[in-house]
Structure 1
Amino acid sequence: MFKQGWFIKGILFMLLSALLLINNNVQATSLWNDNSESIFTDDKANQVGDLLTIIIKESTTASQQASTDASQSSQANVGAGSGILNFIKAFGVNQSDTNSATGSTSRSGSLDTKITVQIVEILPNGNFKISGKKHITINSEKQEVEMTGIVRPNDINADNTIDSTYVANVSINYEGKGAIGDKQRPGIINRILDWFF
């Protein structure tokens, strides 16, 4: 009975030792990333290659008016000649010049879309240089949006979106090609006449 107790204790000791040796090789990694801002939200874009969505709501309106009114008048009177110049009669000259012109121009445009861009460079001050393109074809009409700019990490929302008004040095190029775009373009004769005049 005494030997059986030692035998069972010996087996338990060996099992415990084996478990401790095996347990030393097991390493657990945390589910929590130290760089994450919250365990309840997605990570914000913060590295080259990360994506973020720009919400473009741009509207521009420009108008200019100019008017010119210029007038000038002059008057000269010469008296009659005397002596050997008595054949010259008295005369007067009046001259006036009036010039007036008006002109105005106005232009407006708006663009409302979303585009997903990529961080292409992290600047020394921590801001992100972004670039992206979007091509859409609907009924043989091609629409292309290209965008570049610089964003501050603090302006990026928790869902990785940013308003286009917060993008610095922004360049947005929107172009449409197709039957409708071709109809809006002036004809070749109009373009030639515009070139001459």
Structure 2
Amino acid sequence: MRALILLLLSTSLFACQRLGEVGKAPDFTPVETGNEFFAMTSTPMPEQLPGQAGTVDASLWSGTRGSLLGDRRAAQRGDILTVVIEIDEKAEISNSTGRSRTGADSMGIPSMLGIPQRLDRHLPEGASMADAYATNSSSSYQGNGSVARKEKMTLRVAATILDRLPNGVLRIQGSQEVRVNFEVRELIVTGYVRPEDVSRQNEITYDKIAGARISYGGRGQITDVQQPRIGQQVADVLLPF
């Protein structure tokens, strides 16, 4: 009874929260609470090149990031680069399995020193040792399976360098939210990249991201309608049939 009361209370609180969202567009996730904002606003470690301590080289040809020929690709914590996601995959798998087996066995003793005839007198009517036993067996199995999958996605998102590992690898994270009417589409990209894989256009493709985690989904009225009700989800977990 106590568990039932707790379940009813939690369901009521969840329903009240949902009722407060009726007629409102989904809120954006605050940017200030994300890892990207923290990486861009935190103070980086000071960097000094040999022979340049306490001086500033304002030459256009110095090779620094601010010069005319400087490398402006993202390489430090807080820098921003563009992740290009172009997925166009197609896979088809088909399997077929078949098995069949048939067996038959029989044995009888028509004559053996007159013993079968003597035993026949004590057997039920119609039984005879001449046909002691006969068996037949057969089995068959047929299985078919197929998988067809096709995925196509083209997206671009700005990602921020969260950290530079001791081996030089960059840990990145990017997020993007687009609200159309009462539906918010969310795109999240995380992973690890090598600085040398970042192009001169400050872009990197998704297939060069190690441990890539790409999430593309949404929240809002359309997504809410597509999800089963909370009661149905609980029943699907608890019911054993």
TM over 0.5: yes
The aligned residue for residue 170 of structure 1 is 212
Kindly provide the amino acid, as one letter, of the partner of residue 85 in structure 1. Answer: L
* Residues 81-90 or 44-53, more deviating: 81-90
Aligned partners of 2:59, 2:67: CA distance in 1, in Å?
A: 12
- 1:72 CA drift (Å): 1.8
How big is the alpha-carbon RMSD for the aligned residues of Structure 1 and Structure 2? 3.1
Task: Report the counterpart of residue 58 of structure 2 in structure 1.
Answer: 30
Aligned position for 1:101: 143
Contact 2:197 2:204 in 1 (8 A): yes
Task: Return the offset for 1:42.
Answer: 6.5
In the alignment, which residue of structure 2 is the partner of 1:64? 93
2:10 corresponds to: none
Aligned to 1:47: 76
Tell me what 2:117 maps to: 83
Shift of 1:186: 6.4
State how far apart, in whole Å, the 1-side matches of 2:143 and 2:101 are.
15
Deviates more, 1:142-151 or 1:176-185: 176-185
Letter of the 1:145 counterpart: L
CA contact (8 A) 1:42 1:159 kept: no
Q: Which residue of 178, 185, 194 maps to 1:152?
A: 194
Seen in structure 2, the aligned counterparts of structure 1 residues 78 and 138 have a Cα distance that, compared at 3 Å, is same
Number of equivalenced pairs: 169
From the two aligned structures, give the one with the greater strand fraction: 1
* Structure 1 position 157, deviation (Å): 1.9
SS of the residue aligned with 2:196?
A: helix
Residue type at the aligned position of 1:83? Q
Match 1:119 to one of 144, 161, 165: 161
1:109 to partner: Cα distance: 1.9
Unaligned runs of 5+ in 2: 1-54, 111-115, 121-126
Q: Once the 2 structures are TM-superposed, how far is the Cα of residue 36 of structure 1 from its aligned partner?
A: 3.1
Taking only the aligned residue pairs, the percentage that are identical comes to 28
Task: Give the whole-Å Cα distance in 2 for the aligned partners of 1:120 and 1:166.
Answer: 17
Q: CA deviation at 1:39?
A: 0.9
Residues 22-65 of structure 1: CA deviation (Å, up to 9, x unaligned): xxxxx985243542396156622121000001111123334433
CA contact (8 A) 1:123 1:129 kept: yes
SS at structure 2 position matched to 1:165 = helix
TM-score by length of 2: 0.59
Bigger Rg, which one: 1
